[in-house]
A = this chain, B = another copy of it.
Amino acid sequence: MNIAIIGYGGVGKALVRLLNMQEEVLAKDHLHIQVPYIVDYYGGIYQAEGIDLQQLAAFTEKEKDITKFTGGSADITVDHIASDKTVDLAVIMTPTNKETGQPGADYVRKLLTTGKHVVISDKGPVMLYYDELYRLARDHGVQLCIGCTTGGALPSINGGLMDLAGGEITSIEGVLNGTTNFILKFMEERACEYAEALKEAQEQGIAETNPTLDVEGWDTAGKLLILTNVLMQEKKTLDDIQVEGITHLTAAEVAQAASENCKYKLVGKTLRKEDGQLSMTVKLEKLSQDQLLYSVEGKNKAVRYCCDTLGELVIIGGASGVIPAAASILRDMVNIHRGYQFVK
């Protein structure tokens, strides 16, 4: 399989290392991956016979500008990938813009249209244009995989698509945001207020300097939106979700919950109501010990589906870090190689 990598940040570098690391595992699957193109901000690298990934990994430990590597040039762009018929699949890891979806959106369109499978980690285009991109993939007989966008290593899309194949999902619940998990856990353990827990999360590099997207629930909302549109065949937007964050939670409320053997989690939830309409919310929920999402904390994420025929399914996992994130991209590539039609 000839693949092109677009975006060479943390996860892109991890993917390059991973392709090296897992060569033997992939060979058992008769999957041999070559990377003729890597494109990022500075330009790109092209080597028809496949870039030497081990050398590249070593080279870019010190050097940021990939165009200085063998085969590198400032002129190599996504257009070269699009026009190269030997490329089977493109991995798109562009930075996320949730308003415009750019530049990822145009890259996906271009690459699907020119007959390449696409695996994408950029949530922007998926949140804004999934329906259009899905149809584009179908019309061009290629696959579009987005498993990385809804919890990284957590197989949330896989779980809904493959593990509940033949059934209909009636509800989706998810604890999908690591930063809020950390803050809530810290508030429980230290019996402290939100502001102190946030400060700790920022000092540990877990929360961003501007933590709004995480703590106000928008990261969770984005993931819930993707899960709902993909797994329940909907065309919702962020505006359809009632979103509430964790910033108003007090130490007293956490202590009260603990005295009832309960814990607060930030839960994204989509429910099909009796009238067929969907209710979509992101909010703090007080979960008791007998609820399976109760014990999801720290780095773990989880999703819970209810299905008409297969009952309840809870998936917990999603190790943090760039290697698991890259591994979730590789997972999609392997499942495409195994013939799975994500798009049909």
Size of the A side of the interface (Cβ < 8 Å), in residues, is 52
Min CB gap A229→B, angstroms = 15
Min CB gap A325→B, angstroms = 10
Is the Cβ of A334 less than 8 Å from the Cβ of B165?
A: yes
Is the Cβ of B167 less than 8 Å from the Cβ of A25?
A: yes
Q: Does A252 belong to the interface (CB within 8 Å)? A: no
Is the Cβ of B327 less than 8 Å from the Cβ of A167?
A: yes
Q: Does A155 belong to the interface (CB within 8 Å)? A: yes
Q: Which of B158, B289, B290, B324 contacts A163 (CB 8 A)?
A: B158
Q: Which of B25, B295, B333, B340 contacts A339 (CB 8 A)?
A: B340
Residues of chain A in range 306-335 having any CB-CB distance to chain B below 8 Å: 309-319, 323-324, 326-328, 330-331, 333-335
Min CB gap A238→B, angstroms = 26
Q: Does A257 belong to the interface (CB within 8 Å)? A: no
Residues in B neighbouring A309, C-beta threshold 8 A: 18, 21-22, 323-324, 326-327, 330
Residues in B neighbouring A141, C-beta threshold 8 A: none
Residues of chain A in range 153-178 having any CB-CB distance to chain B below 8 Å: 153, 155, 158-159, 162-168
Residues in B neighbouring A315, C-beta threshold 8 A: 159, 163, 313-316
Given contacts A295-B294, A311-B319, A317-B311, whether A165 and B335 have CB atoms under 8 Å apart is: yes
Q: Which of B159, B165, B327 contacts A338 (CB 8 A)?
A: B165
| Measured CA separation A38–B178 after assembly (Å) | 50
Min CB gap A21→B, angstroms = 8
Instruction: Name the 7 nearest CB pairs between A and B, nearest first.
Output: A311-B319, A155-B163, A309-B327, A165-B334, A339-B339, A313-B317, A166-B330
